[in-house]
Structure 1
Amino acid sequence: MKETLFCLRVGHILPYAMSNSNTTIFTNPSSFILLGIPGLEAAHIWISIPFCAMYIIAVLGNFTILLIVRMETSLHVPMYYFLCMLAVIDLVLSTSILPKMLSIFWFNSREIDFSACLTQLYFIYCFIVMESGILVALAWDRYVAICNPLRHSTILTNAVVAKIGLAVLLRGGLLVLPHPLQARRWPYCRTNVIAHTYCEHLAVVKLACADIRSSSYYGLLVTFLVIGPDVSFITFSYTQILRAIFSLPTKEARLKTFGTCGSHLCVILAFYIPTLFSSLTYRFGQNVPLHFHIITANVYLLLPPMLNPIIYGVRTKLIWDRLLHLLTQKRT
């Protein structure tokens, strides 16, 4: 497909066609063209190597978590159920972007169907919101386990865990649903080129021949409605947890409890810091180079799925012990 002329400004595409009197407007373009990382086309193959390695580690690690929890009945407790939910979310999130990204980098296959683009957009943001919800659930689980251990089993029953999982699913699905619905109903100009490796929300809607401020404001609102309350609840939970840890009688007990919570804090920081950075720089970082923003946007979707199973596998003794047991059994 012949790519139409475009210019880059503030990390977005502004088509010349929008100012052309002969602009043809159509409601649903048949496809979009993903450029990958403009300016770094010659390095696409080299850039793909760390991204592909991150994805392989994420897939192996998260499937290992799911397998170990399924096989070990002693791990059938709320915290590990939430870890399994997190593993599934990470698998979907990373898989939603990497195959198409690699097809761009390796085979120069840049075209993506209009409906597939909107589906990818929906899955990415839906599962980002879900991941934030599961991190809140994990923080609550640790709060109850440490601050109110005698009531942990009565508060977090299997039914409650299932309801939390359903609430996380519905929140993510419903909050993000307006994004693809709005993008589908807008008319688009002749240019269908997206300067990105995947269908990032603002990169797509910037191509519409319409006033997209409502979509931009809604995206910002969702970011703060999700991250604001979630981070506040997590901060409150871990503040109470730290107070409870420092009140423990022995140093060994404090270190053991803090070690368990330390892995959770690492996962939380690995998710929220890149997410906030990417979201805010895309909207307000006019001086941020386009290629830097695109690389960051990919890293923040691939880094947490890779790190989560590593952090939980190494720092969570039951998972680590079970994994070592399986490996030693295979060798003998």
Structure 2
Amino acid sequence: MIRLALALCLAALPVTGSAEDEAEVTYTVMDFADLDGWAQDDHASALAAFRNTCGDMDDPDWRALCGVAAEAGDARAFFELFFRPVLVTDGQEDALFTGYFEPELDGAPYRTERFRYPVYAMPPEARLSQPWLTRRDILTSGVMRNRGLEIAWVDDPVELFFLQIQGSGRIRFPDGRMARVGYGGSNGHNYRSIGREMVRRGIYNAHQVSAQVIKAWVRRNPVPGEDLLLHNDSYVFFREVSEVPAEKGPLGAMNRSITAMRTVAVDPRYVPLGAPVWIEKGGKAPLHRLMIAQDTGSAIKGAQRADIFIGTGDAAGRKAGRLKDPGRMLVLMPIQRAYALLSDWVQ
């Protein structure tokens, strides 16, 4: 184990800075001894995930560390020698961890009696005119028909709706083949929450609503359920992701496959994409783990807001749907960057 005496002298001193038009940002440089559960983690798994995307980081400090990571034998020693954990806060919301997953749908490359719901590619006019038509217009006006925009057909409109929320997924064809689809654009309308609309209509109370509850209610009530889904004006189009084998994770914001339980989506205004982050999540199933910031999301806003990638399929979806916990997240910054923050504060 390699420690620097200087770190013990400088750890936990607060440093303040700013991020574009946001509230004042505070940086607290800490030591690895301050991380609950650090010694028990599988650092080699985190290092493998870090290597997967660090080569795409533009900054010279990060690229230099990526080169060292390629030859690192002792993963824990690598992180402790070259990084320092930094707690970044923005004075906004309390820390919040949620989960996301990659859906897996049953489908076919052509329409059948069972597979009747199309997964659409984005029409060219939608790219030229933003916002474009609403979800209701897209699905009921016939504007998409007979244009060859169907990537695949699936058997469940509710699962297709949630595929659009997640932004990527896999489609299993009857012959066992897998097709992966990724985000291909949107119609430019803001997302309107179906759960909040159910509460507004008096269907459920707020504490009762979850993805599984929404799915079950829509399936039990197909006519009002269809109308409920059309309440969300936003519509997501897809593209085929042929460059990623089906057995690997979906593409994240860094255009590389992400890793279940080692990838986290963050707000890149506060956390550099590709950076290691230490997660201390509370709740009924505490999680203390080194992860890599390899993704983003439209709902992930704030220095202490993070979305954990759970994995692929229904089981991952159920687990992700239950995850909504407090905690804290620390960014592992290159050691010279962390100490530069302290120097700025002292001056």
TM-score where L is the length of structure 2: 0.24
Pick the structure with more helix per residue: 1
TM-score where L is the length of structure 1: 0.25
Higher RCO by CA contacts (8 Å cutoff, separation 6 or greater): 1
